[in-house]
Structure 1
Amino acid sequence: MNATVLATRLLTERARPRGIAGWRHAHWLAVGTVCLGAFLGQLTAGITALVLPALGQHFRTDYAAVEWVALAYLLVLVALLAPVGRLSDLVGRKTVYLGGFAVFALASLGAGCAGGLGVLVACRAVQAVGGAMMQANSVALVARGVPGHAMRRALGIQAAAQGLGLALGPSLGGLLVEHASWRWVFWINVPIGLFGILAGWFLLPRTRAEPWAPRSGGGDGRFDLPGLLLLTGATTALLLALSTASGLPLPGWAAAGLLLLAVLLALGLVRQERRTARPILAPGLVNTPGVRPGLAVALIGYLLLFCPLVLGPVLLTEAGVPVLRAGLVITLLPAGFAVAATVGGALLPRGWSDVTRCRFGAAVAGAGLLLFALLPVGVAWAAAPLLVAGYGLGLLLPANNALVMRAIPAECSAVGGGMVNMARSLGTALGTAVPVLGVHLAGAASGGRTVLLALAAVAVLAVALVRPAGRAGRPGPPVL
């Protein structure tokens, strides 16, 4: 069997068994499979944050070196989300999604077996490739695989899976590091990845009915390599500059230079995307009514989610709260997020549109963060504001994702999902860097409250940014 035939077979999506495809609730099985990838991605993010001190001790190096274990993953992930989305629209979203599970599991196995820090960082970069293959398709698979009336609920369930992974990550990571080994932080992904491949093979509908094969000679078949390089350079420069606030040892002039480089490369990317036949970021999609503000709201939403997760433990431990108790209190934020994303809408009026839900959710999140900033620091005072903020974000983000995906044509849904996840990842990076910068500049108490007040103001901005969706991008029934 030659390489072309083998590649064609691997890239040919298989239909679900007839018994599953014919069941009227089969789309919820597909949503559950996508939730598995969403849970795995956020679980990995939470667990990895706990393992960095243990890695420093094991490899006998400082925090600046082991920080690359987290940074390498984030750099590769953000750079590849949109390009992988474009590739998925061409090849097939199911194919790329299942491939993401395989790459993620193999890289996790290698990371757990790594004998040196350099090998571990390289495995984390490969792991990010698998993460991008899953994340770039998760929103698209949900949005295009369920009936229109169920899209918001399905995206809410997916967001709840992310919140659950985020809530369990720190506690599970602490247990594994304390009672087993840091290696199990990565090995635990292997069985989850294998189960995801099996579940997706049987439960996900195929997204291409015909085999995919690369085109020869035609301009329409070319991949936008210059766009990929510009996007990678711009996001890498931006995230490295932001990481200086999180402890990356770079001088001030280097951080300023990286920010300038990010701006220049972004301008070059805009010019490249406007003149190429197959742009990675598809400016036409960004300019669709409702998409650009929707991406901004997605970024703000994850900024509002991750800032308190980073800042809360600092404020509570500074006030004398034990670390374990502080961690349990902080989990109320993702717990409120998960509850609101699944069943929180039942408390709202039935006639509310997604726009109204977004605005109400952003306002509630802002109110929770404002209370967290103004009330005394302590377990009793922090619990309710964090729960309120999480509830508001759990209403905001699924409804906002539904608005964005309705505005995007079906044939570009993976690109749109990739852009949503890129905005989410940038919001996560900002949510990690901003609180650390505030604490460094003004101390834990004063700097923390200033950041929380600023977050409440940003939530008001999100209320103002929410817009109705543009043209609908819903396709017909999904391919079996």
Structure 2
Amino acid sequence: MNLSFGSNYRWWAFGAMAIGLFASVSDHGSVVVALPSISNHFDTDLPTTQWVLIGYALTISALLLPMGRMADIVGRKRVYVLGFVIFTVGALAAGLSPSVEALITSKIFQGVGAAMTQGTSMAMIVSTFPPEQRGKALGLQMSMVGLGGVAGPAVGGLLIDVADWRWVFFGGSVMGAVSVLAAIIIIDSKQVGQPTGDREAFDWLGAALSTGAMVSFLLGMTGGQRLGWLSPLILGALGSFVALMIVFVWWELRAPSPIMDMRLFKRRLFTFGVSASYLSFVGMSSVRFLMPFYLQAVLGFSPLQVGLMIVPSASMMIIMGPLSGRLSDRFGVRLFTVGGMAVTMSGLIVLSTLTPSSSFILAMVGMTMQSFGVGTFNAPNNSSILSVVEQSKYGVISGFLNLVRNSGNLTSIAVATVIVTASMASMGYPPSLAEVSVDSDPGLIAAFTSGLSLAFRFMSGFIFIAIVASYFKGTPIPPEKEIVLQEQPARGRTPA
């Protein structure tokens, strides 16, 4: 049987890419669980060990745009397979690392491969399915991302208990190798985006500017709380980000073959859809970051119990992604984008009512509502964005959407941390989340909870703006008209 051209090819192809999605997402969650064991093994402090994750995340975010564009130029399968080869070798090297410095270096190398796969997988999945099933395809992708996010910490914890932390990385290398084989055997280059004709030039200057801008932004956002937002290093990093972004936009508007076609932002649906996506992650990530502190330090639950409490809300992403994606293909996206964000905002408002004496049921209801809303929103919103993008740009836009997600996550955590620690400081307590534990003074717990409530109210404001953007962004181009869009030149044209 020729899997590449069988009648069920799209499902074989999705299965192959689903393995890769699961491997990439679960790897992150399992490494988070392994950090304390790694710190103990190498006798290093936790801030140093955290660079295993920070270096990996910085590399991915910095390279998403260039790798997505590279995939559009040289072929998506080629970049995807090479990316998982690098991912696999990096994971193996991480497991064999003799020092924490070698481990951090291996994870940075692995991050290069992860950027190559994350910048192409969405484009490959969407290209495999017809336009009228794009929402379903993106929903299925989200389901695999959610499944990997739930399974990663559990699998990582099991491997550490049965063997040791090195097997977290060895397990990732095995999954990476399976992903490489599945992609080589099943995926057809032509059906996932293989360029024909003369190859476009790669915009090396644009790649350098975008990489520098993202590294500056991410370093500023991750180091602001620790070093102080007014410290010279942080101000320099954020100032460099602004300067590099200005130069990047200027260059991209003049480059003959830009990394990112800035004229896409003339399309209202694209601009409003991307803005709503960023704001949705700003609202969502603060919950995932702060609620474990509340459940453990305030309500006194163990880490295992907290993990079990988070499963129902995480499952909403797995369930609602495919469901809302499929339904949006039939009934349009506005109901699901506006409705999803409305439920998310309601969940945040519920969480903003938490007190030190609240029931864990109230916390679970708020988390589940918030996750339900985000799961309902994402696939239809991404589908609408891609409806006004030429297929030749799917790779770089897929990378861009992943970059929007990563940036929103970091912004959310940074802003929420500032609000909570400022509230703690205003009530006379040290402005540090490290002070929050089950043994903390009741007054400190009250100060933390007050800050948490204020942070969630503040985040609900971002979600309200996302609701407005989703309502006014317009109607996606119907599938039958997208064929015309793909055939028209990209520059100087704004779809109706």
What amino acid is aligned across from residue 326 of structure 1 in structure 2? V
> 2: CA distance between counterparts of 1:310 and 1:300?
16
Aligned length: 455
> Is the CA contact (8 Å cut-off) linking 1:214 and 1:221 kept in structure 2?
no
> 1: CA distance between counterparts of 2:214 and 2:265?
17
1:88-145: per-residue Cα shift (whole Å, max 9, x none)? 1111111111111111111000011111122111111111111111111111111111
1:133-166: per-residue Cα shift (whole Å, max 9, x none)? 1111111111111022221011001001111111
What amino acid is aligned across from residue 400 of structure 1 in structure 2? N
> Aligned pair in 2 of structure 1 residues 417, 475: CA closer, same or farther (>3 Å)?
farther
> Is the CA contact (8 Å cut-off) linking 1:242 and 1:430 kept in structure 2?
yes
Query: Does 1:412 pair with 2:393?
Result: yes
> Is the CA contact (8 Å cut-off) linking 1:288 and 1:470 kept in structure 2?
no
The residue aligned with 1:106 is: 89
SS at match of 2:190: coil
> Aligned pair in 2 of structure 1 residues 249, 66: CA closer, same or farther (>3 Å)?
farther
Tell me the TM-score normalised to structure 2 length.
0.85
The residue aligned with 2:304 is: 324
The residue aligned with 1:239 is: 218
Query: Does 1:143 pair with 2:122?
Result: no
* Farther-moved stretch of structure 1 (83-92 vs 38-47): 38-47
> Aligned pair in 2 of structure 1 residues 230, 382: CA closer, same or farther (>3 Å)?
same
> 2: CA distance between counterparts of 1:399 and 1:454?
25
The residue aligned with 1:450 is: 454
1:421-471: per-residue Cα shift (whole Å, max 9, x none)? 111111222233333333322242122111111222211111111223566
> Is the CA contact (8 Å cut-off) linking 1:144 and 1:474 kept in structure 2?
no
Q: Indicate which of 57, 69, 81 corresponds to 2:64.
A: 81
> Is the CA contact (8 Å cut-off) linking 1:329 and 1:383 kept in structure 2?
yes
> Is the CA contact (8 Å cut-off) linking 1:289 and 1:469 kept in structure 2?
no
Runs of 5+ in structure 2 lacking a partner?
Answer: 425-447, 485-496
SS at match of 2:158: helix
What amino acid is aligned across from residue 51 of structure 2 in structure 1? W
> 2: CA distance between counterparts of 1:379 and 1:210?
48
> 1: CA distance between counterparts of 2:122 and 2:340?
20
The residue aligned with 1:279 is: 258
> Aligned pair in 2 of structure 1 residues 91, 345: CA closer, same or farther (>3 Å)?
closer
SS at match of 1:29: helix
> 2: CA distance between counterparts of 1:229 and 1:182?
35
> 2: CA distance between counterparts of 1:211 and 1:459?
38
Q: CA deviation at 1:34?
A: 2.2
> Is the CA contact (8 Å cut-off) linking 1:245 and 1:434 kept in structure 2?
no
> Is the CA contact (8 Å cut-off) linking 2:193 and 2:392 kept in structure 1?
no
The residue aligned with 1:20 is: 3
The residue aligned with 1:126 is: 109
> 1: CA distance between counterparts of 2:277 and 2:175?
27
> Is the CA contact (8 Å cut-off) linking 2:76 and 2:194 kept in structure 1?
no
> Aligned pair in 2 of structure 1 residues 53, 327: CA closer, same or farther (>3 Å)?
same
> Aligned pair in 2 of structure 1 residues 351, 139: CA closer, same or farther (>3 Å)?
closer
What amino acid is aligned across from residue 88 of structure 2 in structure 1? A
SS at match of 2:387: helix
* Farther-moved stretch of structure 1 (434-443 vs 86-95): 434-443
Query: Does 1:178 pair with 2:172?
Result: no
Q: Percent identity?
A: 26
Q: CA deviation at 1:48?
A: 2.1
Tell me the TM-score normalised to structure 1 length.
0.88
The residue aligned with 1:423 is: 404
* Farther-moved stretch of structure 1 (98-107 vs 18-27): 18-27
> Is the CA contact (8 Å cut-off) linking 1:329 and 1:382 kept in structure 2?
no
Equivalences for 1:361-380 in 2 at 5 Å? 361-376=340-355, 377-380=358-361
Q: Indicate which of 76, 95, 114 corresponds to 1:93.
A: 76
> Aligned pair in 2 of structure 1 residues 92, 272: CA closer, same or farther (>3 Å)?
same
> Aligned pair in 2 of structure 1 residues 64, 408: CA closer, same or farther (>3 Å)?
same
> 2: CA distance between counterparts of 1:29 and 1:371?
42
Runs of 5+ in structure 1 lacking a partner?
Answer: 1-17
> 1: CA distance between counterparts of 2:328 and 2:410?
34
> Is the CA contact (8 Å cut-off) linking 1:321 and 1:378 kept in structure 2?
no
SS at match of 1:188: helix
Query: Does 1:154 pair with 2:137?
Result: yes
Equivalences for 1:179-258 in 2 at 5 Å? 179-207=162-190, 221-245=200-224, 247=226, 252-258=231-237
> Is the CA contact (8 Å cut-off) linking 1:144 and 1:475 kept in structure 2?
no
Query: Does 1:441 pair with 2:412?
Result: no
